[in-house]
Structure 1
């Protein structure tokens, strides 16, 4: 019975290690392919990829269907044959390759051999899949095609896309706005401090704004865009209050200083007039 338990444990370890090895190989393969030299043996044209956009941006909406068409032409006659390999991080991805009326199914990590002299016009690659569900904006490989020849391995095309959602985009925009509001408050408070004006209340609100901004970043990193959005809004609100308080204090201080200055001038004028009249009286004018 003891040996049986050990055997099960060993099998489990082998499964985990094998899975880790396969994932590592897949990631390494993707990184390697993006650093390859562009293929000189084929021309590429990417037809307009189709997917749901996040607002009016070029970002891919998470969970949306993505379809891509790539046209390969002018296969070099200098080499007889090459192997095209396909890789995608889209979910349930796959497609087909068409050449001279013949069509063959493709899948991620799959390959297809092309005899260059047999390509009369073009090779069409059609690819589709589902954009991953994400909780923060991430970049994914929509489709990589590499070409292996007797000369070596080359990059044919690397199509990447930023996958996001409306709530993620809102959170990122809100954080950007909050940073601008904090910078504005910072400048106003710094100018006040430099002028010797006490703006402690404004500084307190500014500190609170930075706390909310940090909270927003933490929530975003944790994959909670909704919470990140709310914290970013609070950061903006606190920063605006800080800036308004600083400006109000500056305005009040300037008004007070001007009032005091006017009062001093008035007193000085009255004193001068009084002194002048007393002086003239002594001279016997009055």
Structure 2
């Protein structure tokens, strides 16, 4: 059976690379992003290049209505899920993209990738900004994983990939704390649901050549060239580790070494080194 892969934050960076690599494998896709035009352009390119079916859901995952549409799509093949998906499709029609559908083949792979960074330290940020940041990195992926499991568990198969970060192994403010939560959750969930045929992996990249840092206003020039990774490599290694049943994937040997050192080095040193990045 062809996998159907739902990817959040699918039009740029690591999310777009996941979409390309899954499409190259012949998987059908459900792409989720906020902006309609880039979403439809990405979908059209993938359909043309790889001949796969691509659904789109234009949704802001920090908006209750947008999140509800994606949850409904994940539950579409769960017991009682088809009716819920249809209702959500009607309710969300005004915010849908041109190619959007809320029903279809059951989602067999969920990639929780949507997210962003904050530049200012916690105490200097507005509390509302920090709460939204926590929601997109913890509450939203947990909600989507819960909905995916409703559909995957009766089939006794499925895959959930949570894009976390090496920051989750370091004292790195609220971004690192949120990613640490997803690493911990993925470790537990891979054990808990692995016996039911469901794999859960936290993908933990370091610095990756994407637009992530530009969007958050971070200075990329302060990072040594040796620490930058290509998004294609990150996704390939993540998919390989997921297929092997690993709960945590840290792409590249250099970051494997650095995360190991982070466990034993002084926290003050690790915090300085981890001050910027994904």
Q: Determine if the TM-score, normalized by the shorter chain, exceeds 0.5.
A: no
Q: Which TM class, normalised by the smaller chain length?
A: under 0.3
Which structure has more RCO (C-alpha within 8 Å, separation ≥ 6)?
A: 2
Instruction: Give the alignment's TM-score, normalised by structure 1.
Output: 0.22
When normalised by structure 2's length, the TM-score is: 0.23
Give the greater-gyration-radius structure (CA): 1
